Structure 1
């Protein structure tokens, strides 16, 4: 049975914020600001490539969409990332390295790269399948459909040279 002393001890303000006013204009403003920070970036056009690498310009957000690209002969880089400004900076650097012959390590065989949206349902399923963990961004290297390497750049201190050094190990 519910006692009066117990009901008096429960403060309504702990569970329900009475000072919060709902405003449609504030809701749209917050939605617009969130949309500005969650932008997908895309690789340069194929005419701008000076290497034999191939960056798939489709963002994978469903598990079955990856199966179209998994059977490639060259090494496949799976870039598990989100669409935030910090992770976009790393993804953009990776795009520039893979598309520019002057930045790409000499003598390296061509690679394919697929971007996987890690904050989608399919992306989370793929993260579990490939045992990526919760460190985003993570670049996973597949050769003959088997994981052979992984790199998780530091969001604060990663630069292009770190990514180039990683690509040299492929």
Structure 2
């Protein structure tokens, strides 16, 4: 009886291993490929800022992490994005404009920027809470904790000047 059950379990395991081949080298290769396409970028250090803006250098991936930043007085920009080279182009331009006084629109009040990793569970929850939609990257403007504006750049035809024009309206 025992040997018959053992024989059946061995036959089942042969069946599963043949229908789903697993290779440790394939697993490492897929992990390496994912690491090459998923790169988080970070803003310049605060010592290089020439504006009064504040870029939070932590990527929010849990819903409760955003609560530390929502109660700020200046307008808050929520940058919903993926960590792909295509979307990093927009995020890097946002960092550059917000940190450089020569690019930032003159006379505008300082803003805070929080980056939200949209492919994390918390990021998806925040996308539903703020009704961001399916087009990413997306920059949402909050004033007094209420959404007052949204900017969805066309990543294919994008320039830094688009962000400057958007920030003039904030």
**How far, CA to CA, are the matches of 2:123 and 2:21 in structure 1?**
36
Deviation at 1:150, TM superposition (A): 0.2
Q: Tell me which residue corresponds to 1:110.
A: 110
Cα distance between partner residues in 1 of 2:77 and 2:124 = 17
1:166 counterpart residue number: 166
- Aligned pairs for 1:140-155 (under 5 A) are 140-155=140-155
Alignment match, 2:8: none
**Residue 156 of structure 1 aligns to a residue in which SS?**
helix
Per-residue deviation, 1:26: 2.1
Structure 1 runs (4+) deviating above 6 angstroms are: none
Kindly provide the CA deviation profile for residues 3-62 of structure 1, in whole angstroms up to 9, marking residues without a partner as x: xxxxxxxxxxxxx9x798542112201210111110100000000000000000010011
- Corresponding residue SS for 2:135: coil
Deviations 1:68-94 (A, max 9, x none): 000000000000001000100100000
**Equivalences, count:** 154
**Whole-Å Cα distance in 1 between the matches of residues 155 and 107 of structure 2?**
28
2-structure distance, mates of 1:61, 1:75:
21
CA distance in 1 between counterparts of 2:19 and 2:144 reads 58
For 1:74 and 1:20, locate their aligned partners in 2 and report how far apart those are by CA, in whole Å: 54
State the distance in 2 between where 1:130 and 1:121 align: 15
Q: Which residue of 1 aligns with 2:99?
A: 99
Distance of 2:20 and 2:157 partners within structure 1:
39
The answer for the alignment partner of 2:26 in structure 1 is: 26
Q: TM-score, normalised by structure 1?
A: 0.87
**CA shift digits 1:105-144 (9 cap, x unpaired):** 0001000000001111110110011000111100000000
Structure 2 partner of 1:122: 122
User: What's the TM-score once normalised by structure 2's chain length?
Assistant: 0.87
Q: Cα RMSD over matched residues?
A: 1.5
Matching residue of 1:70: 70
Matched with 2:13 is none
Q: 2:155 is paired with a residue of what secondary structure?
A: coil
1:43 alignment counterpart: 43
